[in-house]
A and B are shown apart, each in its own frame.
Chain A
């Protein structure tokens, strides 16, 4: 049986990769994907802790995270496609016109 700590460590690594991805990448699609990775890391951590505590609520939370993430992807991709149609470029620094 894999110790819970290892799973949590894996979740933390995935979370860190996602966070770094959001902060360093400039393509909105990749940034969005990295943010979704952070969500999935949280879901993984919830499942690991649910096994540690022998309670179902963590697993419930993981299901809700997956469901909400699906809804968010639907909305997010629609917005990204709209922006792409207007600009035909996807670079967050070029899209960014508002300053100050």
Chain B
């Protein structure tokens, strides 16, 4: 297949970014026209990615090694496009966030797709920036004090972390003389101090984006201040993109030398799982709680990378999907409950069980999936991660995972408990919206489906992750 055909999902999305911008200029209901164009763009890119994936192709190295299109990158495409579609539907017809909302979401999704197929550090850097730059604007697009604060914090820490990442990449280039991940593998047998410094700075840069514990302080503030649909995109899409590039970078470039990064990643994973879930316990703002939950889940994802095994890579890739479905569902309910408000506290959830029983039931399912209760996707995902940690003979990771899950259980049961408290009659009854209902329905079907019958998706993930150590 030609490179034009293999990268058609990316080209399509880039074309639809321009179309959406033009759609913003036509007379009439501009936001609606742009939303439809954006949705069609994301859906067509999704369909094309799925159709290329189903023709199980050999990994294709394009653009002088800069881009690797394989089942892994196509699966990442599917995940991030799902997040993008969710963001468009959750923000459907919303004029508060400006006309550019749809176009910026599309650019950001394009950046996440680029991260999935990066084959050298140039594309890694460009992917991270194409992902981040639109998100800075989106984070600041809520016209409140918290919105400006979120945008500013995200911008400053994003620029700071990109600077660290860039200097790390420069040192790696100096130590190894190449920018391509595939060349790294043959050059990293001898560890020079410069390579050490470069690798650690690069990892710090990626950890900032992923929200791993010593580098997580921006996550809750940015999640709280951003518009809810954008927070959903950050929580699901950005995490997929950063995790995908982390796995590709380490398992393509440094798979021969896991002794240099494996232990560090293991300790950080345990720290992140415990601290993230522990800090989620006392939160009263729901978006903030989901922010800390996102930190905790980044730790779970890191377990899969730290085991440095095929099982771990597969478990991590699988875990992204139940986590993403749970995020989609949680934010759909959050937007219903918020109405015209900016934020949702736990007390706003009171009485939902009696006022909107179906909505409350769906919310409970989503929270149980976050916590990892059997019959939900979250349980299957955690089970595979635990299995990978034990197979890799790393009981410390397994213990950290279990402790993190137990702490998380407490954090996720508090919102559920609030659902059954007596309702505050002064608050309006949450109203369904069409876009949110579609997202919630997909999220619930996905969560239950992955929990009851995960085999097809597991098969799909196994096929996508089996290129490691074989190239």
Contact = CB atoms under 8 A, between A and B. Distances in A.
Interface of A: 8, 11, 15, 18-19, 22, 28, 31-32, 35-39, 41-43, 45-46, 48-49, 52-53, 55, 57-58, 60-61, 64-65, 68, 71-72, 75-76, 78-80, 82-83, 86-87, 92, 95-98, 100
Contact of A98 (B126, B167, B221): B221
A8 B172 CA distance: 13
Given A39-B163, A55-B177, A100-B220, 15 more contacts: A19-B160, A22-B156, A22-B160, A31-B156, A38-B163, A43-B166, A45-B170, A49-B177, A58-B170, A64-B126, A68-B133, A78-B137, A80-B155, A87-B145, A98-B146
B155 A46 contact: no
Contact of B167 (A15, A57, A64): A15
B288 interface: yes
Contacts of B178: 57
Contacts of B283: 100
B174 A95 contact: no
A87 B147 CA distance: 13
Nearest to A48: B174
A32 B220 contact: no
Nearest to A65: B166
A37 B156 CA distance: 13
B148 A83 contact: yes
B125 interface: yes
A98 to B, nearest CB: 5
A48 to B, nearest CB: 8
B171 interface: yes
B149 A32 contact: no
Given A79-B140, A86-B148, A97-B145, A41 B167 contact: yes
Interface of B: 121-122, 125-126, 129, 133, 136-137, 140, 145-146, 148-153, 155-156, 159-160, 162-164, 166-167, 169-171, 173-174, 177-179, 220-221, 224-225, 282-283, 288
A100 B163 contact: no
B136 A75 contact: yes
A76 to B, nearest CB: 5
A68 B129 contact: yes
Nearest to A42: B166
Nearest to B140: A79
A75 B133 contact: yes
B173 A61 contact: yes
Given A49-B174, A52-B174, A80 B152 contact: yes
A45 B122 CA distance: 15
Contacts of B220: 98, 100
A60 B170 contact: no
Contacts of A18: 163
A98 B122 CA distance: 35
A64 B173 contact: no
A76 B136 contact: yes
A86 B148 CA distance: 9
B160 A79 contact: no
A79 B143 CA distance: 12
A98 B224 contact: yes
B282 to A, nearest CB: 8
Contact of B122 (A37, A60, A75): A60
A83 B149 contact: yes
Contacts of B156: 22, 28, 31-32, 35, 92
Contacts of A45: 167, 170-171, 174
A55 B65 CA distance: 15
B225 A79 contact: no
A39 B174 contact: no
B146 A72 contact: no
Given A46-B173, A98-B146, A76 B155 contact: yes
- Nearest 7 pairs of A and B residues by beta carbon: A38-B163, A42-B166, A35-B159, A45-B170, A49-B174, A83-B148, A53-B177
Nearest to B194: A8
B145 A86 contact: yes
Contact of B288 (A32, A65, A87, A100): A100
30 contacts: A15-B167, A18-B163, A19-B164, A32-B156, A35-B160, A42-B163, A42-B167, A43-B166, A43-B170, A49-B174, A52-B174, A57-B173, A57-B179, A61-B121, A61-B125, A61-B170, A64-B125, A65-B125, A65-B166, A68-B125, A68-B126, A68-B133, A71-B129, A80-B152, A82-B140, A82-B151, A83-B152, A96-B149, A100-B220, A100-B283
Contact of A79 (B155, B164, B282): B155
A22 B218 CA distance: 14
A72 B174 contact: no
A32 B152 CA distance: 10
B225 A98 contact: yes
Contacts of A8: 174
B111 to A, nearest CB: 12
